Amino acid sequence: MVAIRVSLPVPLRRGFDYEYERPLAPGVRVRVPWGRRVLTGFVIEVPADPVPGVARRAILEVIDDEPLLSAAQLQLLYFAADYYHHPLGEVLFAALPAGLKRGRGVAAPQVYVLTPEGQAAADTRFARAKRQAALWQAIKAAGVMTEAALKALGPGFGPAMRALLAQGLVERRDPERESPRALSPSAVTLRPDQQAACKAVAEAYGRFAAFLVFGVTGSGKTEVYLELLAQVLAAGGQALVLVPEIGLTPQIVARLSARLGTFIGVLHSGCTATERARVWSAAAAGHIRVVVGTRSAVFVPLKHPALIIVDEEHDASFKQQEGFRYHARDLAVWRAKQLGIPIVLGSATPSLESYRHACQGRYRLLTLPDRGPHSALPAVRLIDLGREPLRAGLSVSLIEALRGCLSRGEQALLFLNRRGYAPVLFCPECRWHAPCDRCDARLTVHLGRQRLRCHHCGREQPVPQACPQCGHLRLLHVGEGTERIEEALRRILPGARIARVDRDTTASRLSFETLLQKVHGREIDVLIGTQMLAKGHDFPHVTLVGVIAADQGLHGSDFRADEQLFAQIVQVAGRAGRAAKPGEVLIQTYHPAHPLWEPLTRLDYGAFAEMALKDRRDTLFPPYAYCALLRAEARDPESATRFLEAARELAKGPPDVALGCVLPAVLARRAGYHRAQLLATSLNRAALQGWLKVWLPRLAKTPLASRVRWSLDVDPYSLF
Ligand SMILES: [Zn+2]
Ligand SMILES: [Zn+2]
């Protein structure tokens, strides 16, 4: 019998020794007894030093003949577990699609496509079958529909799809066997700057090189990606494209599919476990040549990797904010280096980390300065709210601009950048604000449903009819939420067609798509929305963008607040005037003299970055320093703080690492837990890492460690 070390999905920072009749290769899945349960685990090694004196239990079953994780995959995951100081077993399983965590074989993904009859069908055919019409239209627009996308639409769509299949309008296909169609020639000719960018990347095929494609919104980054992907496919390689959660739309997938003539493997949180497992396996086998996915797709195995692209590389959604807190962009760069392939990071507002790498020459900067011949950047203007009265959150100047825009038959977009601006319930008599009883936060009024809701813990309750503190009957809604703006606009602009986009109105993907189509069809005059609107969507007839409440970003308590505000406003400004018409962006602020507005009104990223980098250098934040944040929370008010104080004691005098004070979290109480944090900073990444390796095991042994919930966040995205 041979000792086999197995990693299990348990929160312990070590492997466990079992035995089997013969050695097993790392990356093979096995089933083993664990207490009274049976767990699936990964073989990590045949240990040279099995734990002595312990009776080893036998492996119950070997699931795979061949390792499910290749040596390169394992190396990536070992690195990630080590760097983020997260238990390896949990890392291995976080990387694996749910469908492979148990179970054996994986069949190829099934997709729905239109048959020639389906292509030729007239939409009048579906006059009496609304769901069939919606499905037919969706497949027609995207080229394919996956099983997961169908399921996501709701239970009524299954029968509708069966009806379409029965009528011979739609067929089921196995994309692995689908022979690639010929590449469609690019519809647009690349401009010289785009061509230069493609050429620079093309020269790096077959070796590691990192590129930062810095292009203003509308400068055609996607065309550069498409050209590169086409080159990679032509040479027989595979590519991985990472996109933000919100940027992965059916339109993007359809565009890739149409241009590249190949099945695009899609991975995002909406995919079913089976579908994820299928795409994963097909990519590992080399059958799927292009995988587009959100954060966790960074772990997808590729048989012939040739290129990685990270679009909107600055986006916060690439950082996992709980559990295994990895950053997908950073791991993607590591992976490209490991595989010896080029990586392309793209953004109109690069993260300061990537931008600094580019300035230092570690990444090659490829600039796309041009927005094309037919569109100029919008003009950005501030509205000083100190000088103008507000009507339901809207200034006179903004209302006038809206009227002008509508009278010209153009569209406008009103943007509320933070849901924190949603209205709260307020008693003018005793100054009571409806609080959440589990968090240090106020409840938000959702008029449509007549409910108060906490955006931090999700608690809901009915809107009270009178003040619970003094009995006053006329409670006010203060603050501007999207709902309230919509209501006010309907009064101010009677006759205008107004639509609202936020999580309440677009719970399903289909309703969001329908709304976008209406905007494109010019059935909507004014669109009010949150950040859902800011990314990736083209609105060619929008010529006016109003930013209603931008000030929060100016005084954010987080070191990335200014970077996020800049990125958000540039993104939303990019929605204006994308066709031939010039656009205008109006920003309402109480602080027109704030230094951030100067680069922002010129949409000058370079000037902004220079200012922000200086600030980061002065305050010792990334990219000048490396941080790790230890968070703790407990039900009683003291334990979390006491645990962190003890942690601080244990760490006394680390060389090269500065420890902050134990501070309450910005939201000091959430869902009934009292929260605190301790920040460690170092100018030297290796010093911080080395010190964490010593500190964490000691920390785990302190008596309080088992009584509080605690976690370590390496390279925290925010200090919340
Ligand atoms: Zn709450
Ligand atoms: Zn009151």
pLDDT tens per residue across span 129-178 = 888 888 888 888 767 777 767 877 777 888 898 899 988 899 887 654 44
The pLDDT of residue 183: 56
Fold agreement between 192-368 and 379-422+479-614: yes
Q: Closest-lying ligand to the alpha carbon of 468?
A: 2
CATH class belonging to 2-96: alpha beta
Q: Closest-lying ligand to the alpha carbon of 455?
A: 1
674 CA to centre of ligand 1 in angstroms: 12
563 CA to centre of ligand 1 in angstroms: 27
468 CA to centre of ligand 2 in angstroms: 7
480 band by pLDDT with thresholds 50, 70 and 90: low
For domain 379-422+479-614, the question of CATH label 3.40.50.720 is answered with: no
635 CA to centre of ligand 1 in angstroms: 14
Q: What's the whole-number mean pLDDT along residues 343-360?
A: 96
464 CA to centre of ligand 1 in angstroms: 17
Task: Give the three-state DSSP class for 108.
Answer: coil
Q: Is 695:651 a contact under the CB 8 Å cutoff?
A: yes
Q: Considering only 345-359, 436-450, 651-665, which range has the smallest mean pLDDT? A: 436-450
442 band by pLDDT with thresholds 50, 70 and 90: confident
427 CA to centre of ligand 2 in angstroms: 5
Q: For ligand 2, a single-atom ion, which residues have Cβ within 5 Å?
A: 427, 429-430, 432, 467, 469-470, 472
Q: What's the whole-number mean pLDDT along residues 346-359?
A: 96
Q: Closest-lying ligand to the alpha carbon of 429?
A: 2
Q: Closest-lying ligand to the alpha carbon of 469?
A: 2
The pLDDT of residue 372: 60
| Architecture (CATH level 2) of domain 626-714 | 2-Layer Sandwich (3.30)
Q: Closest-lying ligand to the alpha carbon of 433?
A: 2
The pLDDT of residue 503: 66
432 CA to centre of ligand 2 in angstroms: 5
In percent, how much of the chain has pLDDT > 70?
A: 91
435 CA to centre of ligand 2 in angstroms: 13
pLDDT over threshold 80, residue 449: no
Beta bridge partners of 679: 629
Q: Which carries the bigger pLDDT value, residue 557 or residue 226?
A: 226
Q: Closest-lying ligand to the alpha carbon of 430?
A: 2
Q: Which carries the bigger pLDDT value, residue 124 or residue 301?
A: 301
Rg over CA atoms, the chain: 27
Give the span between the Cα atoms of 296 and 97, in whole angstroms.
Answer: 9
pLDDT over threshold 80, residue 117: yes
The pLDDT of residue 16: 92
426 CA to centre of ligand 2 in angstroms: 8
The string of pLDDT tens digits covering residues 367-388 is 998 666 556 778 899 999 888 8
425 CA to centre of ligand 2 in angstroms: 10
The pLDDT of residue 285: 86
Q: What's the whole-number mean pLDDT along residues 275-301?
A: 91
483 CA to centre of ligand 2 in angstroms: 24
In percent, how much of the chain has pLDDT > 90?
A: 45
Q: Considering only 62-71, 339-348, 444-453, which range has the smallest mean pLDDT? A: 444-453
The pLDDT of residue 204: 96
The pLDDT of residue 536: 59
pLDDT over threshold 80, residue 313: yes
pLDDT over threshold 70, residue 122: yes
473 CA to centre of ligand 2 in angstroms: 8
600 CA to centre of ligand 1 in angstroms: 34
Cα dihedral sign, 79-84-87-89: negative
pLDDT over threshold 50, residue 602: yes
Structure tokens at 416: 């509320």
Domain residue ranges in the chain: 2-96, 111-173, 192-368, 379-422+479-614, 626-714
466 CA to centre of ligand 2 in angstroms: 8
The pLDDT of residue 420: 41
394 CA to centre of ligand 2 in angstroms: 27
CATH topology of domain 192-368: Rossmann fold (3.40.50)
pLDDT over threshold 70, residue 421: no
Q: Closest-lying ligand to the alpha carbon of 434?
A: 2
The pLDDT of residue 375: 61
Q: Which residues of 151-185 are buried (b: 16+ CB within 10 A; e: fewer)?
A: eebeeebeebbebbeeeebbeebebeeeeeeeeee
What is the separation of C-alpha 498 from the centre of its chain, rounded to a whole number of angstroms?
Answer: 28
Instruction: Quote the strand ranges of 432-495, DSSP E.
Output: 444-446, 451-453, 460-462, 476-478
The string of pLDDT tens digits covering residues 17-71 is 999 999 999 999 999 998 888 888 999 999 888 878 778 899 999 988 888 888 9
Give the span between the Cα atoms of 402 and 560, in whole angstroms.
Answer: 32
Q: Is 484:392 a contact under the CB 8 Å cutoff?
A: yes
Mean pLDDT of the chain: 86
The pLDDT of residue 177: 47
672 CA to centre of ligand 1 in angstroms: 8
Q: Tokens 């200014």 sit at which residue?
A: 562
